[in-house]
A = this chain, B = another copy of it.
Amino acid sequence: MDLPVALDAMGGDFAPRETVAGALLARKAGVAVVLVGDEARLREELAAQGGELPVVHAADVIGMHDQATEVRRRRQASINVAMRLVKEGEAGAAVSMGHSGATMAAALFTLGRVPGIERPAILAEIPSRAPSGRVHLIDAGANADVRPQHLVQFANMGAAYAKRMSGVQRARVGLLSIGEEPGKGNQLVLETHPLLADSELDFVGNVEGRDVLADAADVVVTDGFTGNVVLKLAEGEARILFGWIKEALSGSLKAKLGALLVKDALRELAARMDPAEYGAMPLLGVRGPAFIGHGASDRRAVMNALLRARRMAASGLVEALGAAPRP
């Protein structure tokens, strides 16, 4: 029987309304969810939305303006309670749309690291021309400054994720750089290249910014600074381009008429590019599935995050990364 997914129902800009609504949608789609947060508040929200879900009470919540390090002393914060449910085998995964730094800190502090992984990293899936329809970008923001061996660990985690979660049997791993030749890059990339070339991975060498969304690699490895810039630029550019397209299609009567005919096709494409489609990003390298979502997540993002969290819990990925199964 599946363990439920623990949702930090107090985290996110629109919590608990959207978290509860997303959880109810996920429940309808067959995912067992347990809400974590202020019990009275959550029961009230459930009643207002006419739904039922189990609730685990958490008296405290880390706000967006708190320091991530607060998770160490505020043990009753909802994000800590959610992680403890995973650690204690009461939940199969944890999801939060709240403070990203606090979620990472809580995961690291409560779940601990997988042996052999010095630095857990965030994996982002971005729509691309790769056969699986997406590129797996790691690290998308957990570690701003890293060393070469960390990038090798990221590469291994990214390939394992692509295999178990996206069905990519043998992921092509590319190292993000500023030229295809092994001699191109910053110091970090120059030192990492030979390590990846010597690894058991299907290393395809350096990939450039223009290759990220092309069919050059299934996994793109980079430091968390560059990766976070890439992720947010990719999302931001799609939004801005679709905005410009909308403007262009209201420029003339002819274009306006055409727009009526193409809008369904374009809406579908825009939805595919919407980050809410993926819901949340896993922090890989901790001993349990832990997902970090956008603060601005709506119910659809929350639902998709819960669906992915359940899939990752069932995939055995954490164990495949080297963590012994929990007793």
Contacts and interface: CB of A to CB of B under 8 A. Distances in A.
Interface string A216-239: 000000011110111111111111
A contact face: mostly helix, strand, loop, or mixed = helix
A249 interface: yes
Counting contact residues on chain A (CB < 8 A from B), the size range is 35 or more
Contacts of A251: 265
A211 interface: yes
6 contacts: A178-B224, A178-B228, A208-B229, A209-B234, A210-B235, A214-B236
The 10 closest A-B pairs by CB, nearest first: A258-B261, A209-B232, A210-B236, A209-B233, A258-B262, A144-B186, A178-B228, A209-B229, A210-B232, A248-B265
Contacts of A223: 186
B228 A226 contact: no
A319 interface: no
A244 interface: yes
A141 B209 CA distance: 12
Oligomer copy total: 2
A269 B254 contact: no
Contacts of A232: 178, 208-210
Interface string A182-219: 00011101000000000000000000111111100000
Given A241-B238, A268-B248, A229 B262 contact: no
A66 to B, nearest CB: 13
Contact of A187 (B144, B226, B258): B144
A255 B264 contact: yes
Contacts of A129: 240
A176 interface: yes
Contact of A237 (B234, B258, B266): B234
Contacts of A233: 209-210, 212-213, 230, 233-234, 237
A129 B243 CA distance: 10
A145 interface: yes
Contacts of A187: 144-145
Nearest to A213: B240
Nearest to A215: B240
A240 B214 contact: yes
A235 B261 CA distance: 28
Contacts of A224: 178
A59 interface: no
Given A144-B178, A145-B186, A236 B211 contact: yes
A29 interface: no
